[in-house]
Amino acid sequence: MNSPRTTLYRDKHNAKLMGVCSGIADYTGVDTFWVRLGALFLIPMTGGWVIPAYFIAGLLLSKKPPHLYVDQDEQKYWQRVRQSPQRTAREIRARFRDVDRRLAEVEHYYVSSNPRLTAEIERLR
């Protein structure tokens, strides 16, 4: 079950040639400049097989939908999910635990017998 937000796309909006490097940069969260530079360094190191692989990827990858993310925060969130789903799940669980703890404190404050709060309520009546 692949979400559209966890799929590798060609990013034609930031593309120089076919959008493969900018799609990889969007997918990983690495700056596009560094992905392109890495691709250029891989050409002589791999005997040139990166060039046909680039064009094959350009033909096989789908174009990135124009409104995939609502804003930059959502884009960064999905990049973190793609990089480490377990870490992102841990962060979300920790946030929910913190919200639950704070809500329990508020609930305890209002539910417990609080003479000052009771006096304040009575004064307002």
**CA pair distance 26, 20, nearest whole angstrom:** 10
- pLDDT grade, residue 98 (50/70/90)? very high
Q: Are 54 and 24 in contact (CB under 8 A)?
A: no
Decide if pLDDT at 96 tops 90.
Answer: yes
* 68 plus 40 within the same structural domain: yes
* 78 plus 88 within the same structural domain: no
Mean pLDDT, the chain, whole residue set: 82
Torsion angle, CA of 70/84/37/50, rounded to 10 degrees?
Answer: -110
* 17 plus 65 within the same structural domain: yes
**CA pair distance 91, 115, nearest whole angstrom:** 38
**CA pair distance 19, 95, nearest whole angstrom:** 36
| 41-86: pLDDT as tens digits | 999 998 888 889 889 888 898 787 777 777 778 777 877 777 777 8
* 35 plus 75 within the same structural domain: yes
- pLDDT grade, residue 87 (50/70/90)? confident
* 31 plus 65 within the same structural domain: yes
Percent residues over pLDDT 70 in the chain: 94
**CA pair distance 40, 47, nearest whole angstrom:** 12
Give the structural domain span for 58.
Answer: 1-83
**Predicted TM-score (pTM) above 0.85:** no
**CA pair distance 113, 117, nearest whole angstrom:** 8
Contacts of 40 (CB under 8 A, 6+ apart): none
Q: How much is the average pLDDT of 26-38? A: 87
Decide if pLDDT at 5 tops 50.
Answer: yes
